[in-house]
Amino acid sequence: MVSTNRVGRRKIISLLLAIGVTGNIGSGKTTVCKIFEGLGVDIYYADAMAKRLYQTDFELKEGVITLFGHGSYDSEGQLVRQVLSDAIYRDPNLREALNDLVHPRVFADFKVWCDQKRALGKSYVIKEAAILFESGADKTVDLVIGVLAPLSLRLTRVIDRDGGNEKTAMLRIQSQIPQEQWVERCDYSINNDDAHPLEAQVLMIHESLLVRAKNERR
């Protein structure tokens, strides 16, 4: 477990600590979040929430249609991801334009979600996001937990979970910022490998966060 300087991060929810959990593909960040859930911590899964917002957020849907055309949604109002993927393949600049639409809507949704949890008297909550730093979402949380794992182990996990071959899995891994480049920006780190008991690390951080949350309320 490590602590580092949190330059640029700020509190957004008074009396409630908002914690970010991030990690590269195959690191096991969702597994870590499930352990936190078992300890009674509420988790905001950013990727899942973004998928929901594509269907429920009118402004986001209108923005997507403006960028990608009416074919981006089918007759039942469901997002046609292949249309977006094909368009981004032809024009990579569309990816940034799409992110500029999606990320602010997720940030706003997270703020509302945190307000609800604060009203329930929660000590802290977690936001799980694969691209926490890339999207700027680290600015919407108070502290960040980074989930780390060796490359060889991440590669094996991705293949076992998603199928495919080693080359395809490696391309997905290499498309992300290496963990060595963002780990120093984390306040805590969890080593999800065979050498470090995962539950013990999570419990240690959980207890630390409960203390920090209590101190914030004073």
- How many CB atoms within 10 Å of residue 118? 15
Per DSSP, the three-state class of 22 is: strand
Burial 39-71 (b: 16+ CB within 10 A, else e): eebebbbbeebbeebbeebeebbebbeebbeee
Strand segments (E) across the chain: 17-22, 43-45, 124-128, 143-148, 188-191
Residue 194 confidence (pLDDT): 82
CATH topology of domain 1-42+124-218: Rossmann fold (3.40.50)
Which residues lie closer than 8 Å to 18 by C-beta, 6 or more apart? 11, 12, 110, 114, 124, 125, 127, 140, 141, 142
The domains of the chain are located at 1-42+124-218, 55-121
pLDDT of residue 211: 94
Q: What is the pLDDT of residue 195?
A: 86
Which pLDDT score is estimated for 14?
58
138 and 129 Cβ atoms separated by less than 8 Å: no
Task: Give the list of residues 6+ apart from residue 193 with CB closer than 8 angstroms, or none.
Answer: 148, 149, 150, 153
Tens digit of each residue's pLDDT, the chain (218 residues): 544 445 445 454 457 999 999 999 999 999 999 999 999 999 999 999 999 999 999 999 999 999 999 999 999 999 999 999 999 989 999 999 999 999 999 999 999 999 999 999 999 999 999 999 999 999 999 999 999 999 999 999 999 988 888 998 899 888 889 999 999 999 999 999 988 899 999 999 999 999 999 887 66
- What's the rounded Cα separation, in Å, for the pair 12 and 114? 9
State the pLDDT at residue 7. Answer: 45
* Residues 14, 158: Cα–Cα separation, whole Å: 38
Quote the pTM value. Answer: 0.88
